[in-house]
């Protein structure tokens, strides 16, 4: 089974040379730490920066340079700043190659829910609805089950949706799955996790074809 | 040169009244018009409808107006990190309209640019699109979203001049440029008000035509919400 860093490490393998990538808050943010250093990638943050670098050294934080999670950041050579409308032009206009975000629930048809739990939590969707409505390549990073042990990979989302039919791939602590017309197609198992365990933790339709290889991370 | 300079924040906020609709630049606490917010607290205007990506934190930013119960309605994309906000929303004291961040930006820009409405794919098929007109273009569904209508836009820039020209810094730019000229009156506060002619026309982000009043802000706190650092090797 993977921890959050393990999930981030596996997703980092999906990042290719020349990609512009938008990382959501939480596990997705960790992906930046594991991208191969022999490829060129630029990270976009929807509050208005392209070419995000690592966190600053202590004493070098700048209140005017933050990421979408409101964390202090730095920029790399070639970086640029821009306003919110232009930032979402990059996103809606499909200039960003890969979007990685977290989710509370994903359905077997690619629906995603991650912004509201009625009566409990309403923080808002931020840029998530714009991202999922437009991105061609969306990978969800999340735990396979919630704290109560219930599956987060469902036939149908129970929470208010963020977007419909948009998720392409899901990487969890247990597995890598692709969304197909028939449901979640199991591609890889996490180290030490059996197909049976993944099946038991998945409420939605899980398609298992042939031998399922273990993830290489 | 048409002079937009006013002496201070009090003069800049002349005409502000109860029940008006205001836009506030900023993302989190970055690039918020701190001086205008402080003056609105001081004036005690009430019944405000505010358009702002976030609602500040409990003791800073728009959180200060929430504490004084000066706001009736918030239109935002993300409102976490604010207990008083959550309390007022759940109790029904505060009306909240949550919309996608890109939609918020574009509804500002539409108002600035003279478009009555825009079509966006964001939110289609979700509760955000409920009751709204939708339309298919090239096989994909879009939601009709209207341009905002606001009385004042309060923005904050890094540098400006008396002509109203503005330059922003870093990610403190965010919604500020999109709100300039998107309300009846745009009030810009700047960290540095430089003599006219000093700003390079090639480097100006917002031309003065979009700004009605400009003043030099004071005592900027520029709070950091999530101070995150890495260790030196």
The answer, for A47 touching chain B at a CB cutoff of 8 Å, is yes
Give the number of A-B residue pairs with CB atoms closer than 8 Å.
Answer: 179
CB burial of residue B101 (10 Å; 0-12, 13-18, 19+): buried
The answer, for B78 touching chain A at a CB cutoff of 8 Å, is yes
Q: What is each CA distance from A109 to A59, A131, A171, B141, in whole angstroms? A: 47, 17, 16, 17
The answer, for A94 touching chain B at a CB cutoff of 8 Å, is no
User: Which of A46, A54, A163 shows the shortest C-beta gap to B101?
Assistant: A46
Task: Name every chain B residue with its beta carbon within 8 A of the beta carbon of A65.
Answer: 170-171
Residue A120 has pLDDT above 90, yes or no: no
A128 membership: H or E segment, kind and range: helix A128-134
The answer, for B140 touching chain A at a CB cutoff of 8 Å, is no
Per the model's pLDDT, the better-predicted residue between B128 and B89 turns out to be B128
Per the CB < 8 Å rule, is A84 touching B172?
A: no
Which positions of A are catalytic?
A: 46
Task: Name every chain B residue with its beta carbon within 8 A of the beta carbon of A45.
Answer: 171
Look at phi and psi of residue B181 and say left if phi exceeds 0, alpha if psi is from -120 to 50, else beta. left
Arithmetic mean of pLDDT, B8-27 = 98
pLDDT of residue B81: 78
Question: From B97, which residue of chain A is nearest by alpha-carbon distance?
Answer: A124
Q: What is the CA radius of gyration of chain B?
A: 18
Mean of pLDDT over chain B: 97
Arithmetic mean of pLDDT, A24-46 = 94
B122/B2 Cα distance (integer angstroms): 40
Q: E strands of chain B, at which residues?
A: 21-24, 48-51, 71-76, 95-98, 117-120, 134-137, 140-146, 152-161, 166-167, 185-194, 213-216
Residue B83 has pLDDT above 90, yes or no: no
A115/A138 Cα distance (integer angstroms): 16
The answer, for B119 touching chain A at a CB cutoff of 8 Å, is no
* Range 114-143 of A in CB contact (< 8 A) with B: 122-130, 133-134
Phi, psi of A175 (to 5 degrees): -160, 165
Q: Is the dihedral of CA B11, B17, B18, B22 positive or negative?
A: negative
* Range 187-216 of A in CB contact (< 8 A) with B: none
Q: What is each CA distance from B229 to A54, A77, B221, in whole angstroms? A: 9, 19, 20
The answer, for A110 touching chain B at a CB cutoff of 8 Å, is no
Residue B80 has pLDDT above 90, yes or no: no
User: Which of A58, A84, A122 shows the shortest C-beta gap to B101?
Assistant: A84
Residue B86 has pLDDT above 90, yes or no: no
- pLDDT band at residue B82 using 50, 70 and 90 as cut-offs: confident
């Amino acid at each position: 089974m993977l921890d959050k860093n393990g999930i981030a490490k596996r997703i980092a393998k999906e990042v290719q040379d020349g990609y512009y990538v938008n990382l959501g808050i939480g596990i997705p943010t960790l992906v930046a730490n594991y991208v191969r250093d022999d490829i060129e990638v630029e990270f976009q943050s929807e509050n208005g920066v392209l070419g995000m670098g690592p966190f600053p050294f202590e004493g070098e934080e700048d209140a005017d340079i933050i990421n979408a999670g409101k964390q202090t950041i730095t920029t790399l050579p070639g970086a640029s700043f821009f306003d919110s409308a232009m930032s979402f032009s990059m996103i809606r206009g499909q200039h960003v190659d890969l979007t990685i975000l977290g989710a509370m629930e994903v359905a077997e048809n690619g629906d995603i829910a991650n912004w509201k739990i009625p009566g409990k939590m309403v923080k808002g969707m931020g840029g998530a609805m714009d991202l999922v409505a437009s991105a061609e390549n969306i990978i969800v990073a999340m735990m396979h089950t919630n704290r109560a042990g219930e599956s987060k990979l469902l036939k149908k989302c129970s929470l208010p949706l963020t977007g419909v039919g948009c998720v392409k791939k899901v990487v969890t602590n247990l597995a890598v799955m692709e969304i197909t017309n028939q449901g979640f197609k199991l591609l890889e198992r996490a180290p030490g996790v059996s197909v049976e365990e993944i099946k038991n933790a998945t409420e939605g339709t899980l398609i298992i074809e042939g031998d399922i290889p273990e993830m290489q991370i | 040169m048409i002079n937009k300079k006013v002496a201070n924040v009090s003069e800049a906020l002349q005409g502000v009244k109860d029940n008006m609709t205001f836009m506030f630049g900023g993302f989190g606490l970055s690039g918020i018009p701190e001086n205008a917010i402080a003056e609105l607290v001081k004036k005690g205007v009430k019944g405000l409808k505010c358009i702002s990506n976030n609602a500040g934190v409990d003791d800073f930013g728009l959180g200060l107006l929430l504490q004084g119960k000066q706001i009736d309605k918030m239109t935002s994309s993300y409102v976490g990190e604010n207990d008083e906000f959550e309390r007022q929303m759940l109790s029904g004291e505060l009306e909240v309209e949550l919309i996608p961040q890109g939609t918020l930006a574009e509804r500002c820009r539409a108002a600035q640019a003279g478009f009555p409405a825009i079509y966006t794919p964001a939110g289609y098929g979700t509760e955000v699109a409920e009751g709204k007109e939708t339309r298919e273009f090239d096989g994909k569904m879009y939601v009709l979203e209207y341009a905002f209508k606001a009385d004042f836009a309060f923005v904050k820039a890094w540098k400006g001049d008396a002509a109203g020209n503005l330059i922003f810094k870093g990610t403190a730019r965010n919604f500020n440029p999109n709100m300039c000229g998107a309300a009846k009156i745009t009030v810009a506060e700047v960290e540095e008000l430089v003599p006219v002619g000093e700003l390079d026309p090639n480097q100006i982000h917002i031309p003065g035509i979009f700004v009605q009043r400009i003043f030099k802000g004071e005592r900027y706190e520029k709070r950091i919400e999530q101070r995150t650092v890495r260790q030196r090797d």
